[in-house]
Structure 1
C-alpha cells in the first residue's frame, strides 16, 4: 500500500510557552508525504487557546464522541500548503480524551502523535516514518531507551528523587506489559507513536489521561501489530515547566489499563 497523507495530532493544554515554537517546527518539518495537522485544544487557562485560534477559521460545528462529550470542529485552514484543523474542548478532560478527538477526525493513512512541548525533536519524523513507508511494519515507537541508554530516562533539574520514582514506575509497567503481552519493548510510554490508520480501525478508545499511551500499545498488539522501536532524543521537563503527569493518579490508571486491556474487548 502506498501511503499518501500523514496526520499529526497535537493535543495542547496550557502550553503557551512552547506552543508556537513547536507548531512552527511541525509545520516546517519535511516528510515524504503530504501533511495535515490536527490541533486539539482543551480549555487552557494560560493563553494557549488564543494562540491556537490564529489557525482556526471561525467556522465551527459541534460534534460528539462516543462517551457523549462534545467538541467544536473548525473548518480546515491552509497554512502554506498544509491543512491545519483546530478542535476545541470546553474543558480539560485529559490528554487521552483530546487524542480521541484527533483519532476520530484524522483523514490521513498514517497517524503521528505530537505533544505541545519541546521534549522531543520533530527532526525525528523521517526516521520514525521510514519503517512504515518501507512496508516493514504498521506501528513504530520512538524509544528513549533503544539506543542503549539506561532506564533512567528522566533527569529533572532539582527534583532528582521524583524523577527516579517515575523512572522506576516506568520500568515496572514496561516489564509488566512485556510479560502479559509477550513482547520485548523498552519504551511503551513514549509520546512518539506512529501507526497506520488501518491498524487502528474499529478500536473503541476508553482512556482519558496518560494511560491512553498504554491503551494504544496494548490494543494494537492484540490486533497483531507489534511495534518496531526506533531510538529518539528526549529532554524531560519538570512539572513547573509544564509537565502534567501525576505519579499516583496516572500510575494507578496505567496499571489498570495494562491489566484490563489484556482481557477486555478491543
Structure 2
C-alpha cells in the first residue's frame, strides 16, 4: 500500500475528482488545514483518512500527513485538481524498484494552469538549486514520492512554503538519488492560495530563499564539476 498525503484548505470542489483518481492500493490521507467549506467532512464521507492540522501552512499540513502515514511508501499531491493522482504509480516505480530515493513530478503546464509570475519564479528557483547542488532539477513541484522512513529521518522543520525545498535540499545533502518524471499540470479548481497570487508567490519565494541560505552554509564552496549523475564541488 502507498499512503498519499493531500494537504487541504477549502478544496471541496476538487476533492471528489482527486479522490476518485487514486489507484487501487493507494490510501488518501487528507490533511484538513483549517477548512471552512466542509472539506474534511466531505473527504471522510468519500473514504479518505482525515487528519486535522490547525497550524496553517503547507509544510504544517504536509508534515502532519507524513507523520500520520504508516505505509512503507509515501507520496504527496496537491488537492486542488491541478495534478492527477493517477500519475502517482509512475513516480513510485523508481522508488519501489530501488533506482531512486526521491522522485519529483516535473509539472508540464496546460493552458491557463500556471500564471506567468509563478512560472518565472519557479524557473529562477530551479536555476539557483542547480547551481547550489548540482542536481538536474527543472521544477520543485508538490507531487513527489519516497520511502516514509527516509523522509522522517530528514528532520524536516519548515512548516510553510519552504517545506518542499527543504525536503529536496536535505535529500541532496545526504546524496539521495533524485529523479524527475514529467506530469501534466492543469488549471486548479477554485482560487489559488499560494502561487496563483503575486503575494502568495512572494511569500513562497521568501520561505524558499531562507532554505537555500541554510543549505548553502552547509555546502563546501568552490567550482563544480560533473561526476556522473550530478556535479560536485572541487
Q: Normalised by the shorter chain, which TM-score bucket?
A: 0.7 to 0.9
How far off is 1:53 after superposition?
Answer: 4.0
- Aligned equivalent of 2:221: none
Q: Is the CA contact (8 Å cut-off) linking 1:40 and 1:98 kept in structure 2?
A: yes
Q: 1:124 aligns with which of 73, 87, 90?
A: 87
* Cα pair 2:161 2:203 within 8 Å, conserved: no
For 2:203, the equivalent position in structure 1 comes to 249
Report 1:148-159 matches (<5 A).
153=109, 156=112
Structure 2, gaps ≥5 residues long: 195-199, 219-234
In the alignment, what sits opposite 2:57?
94
In the alignment, what sits opposite 1:75? none
Instruction: Decide whether aligned partners of structure 1 residues 237 and 52 sit closer, same or farther in structure 2, where only a CA change above 3 A counts.
Output: closer
Which residue in the other structure is 2:34 paired with? 43
Q: Does structure 2 conserve the Cα–Cα contact (< 8 Å) formed by 1:139 and 1:225?
A: yes
Alignment-derived partner of residue 138 in structure 1: 101
Shift of 1:94: 0.9
Q: Is the 8 A contact 1:12 1:41 kept in 2?
A: yes
TM-score, with length taken from structure 1: 0.73
Q: 1:49 to 1:105 in 2, by over 3 A?
A: closer
User: Partner of 1:226 in structure 2?
Assistant: 177
Judged with a 3 Å threshold, the aligned counterparts in structure 2 of structure 1 residues 108 and 244 are, in CA distance, closer, same or farther, namely same
Distance of 2:69 and 2:217 partners within structure 1 = 28
- Which sections of structure 1, spanning at least 5 residues, go unmatched? 56-78, 146-152
TM-score by length of 2: 0.82
1:184-218 CA distance string (max 9 Å, x none)? 11112x12111112322422222122221111111
| SS of alignment partner, residue 6 of structure 2 | strand
Aligned structure 1 segments of 4 or more residues deviating by more than 4 angstroms: none
Aligned to 2:126: 174
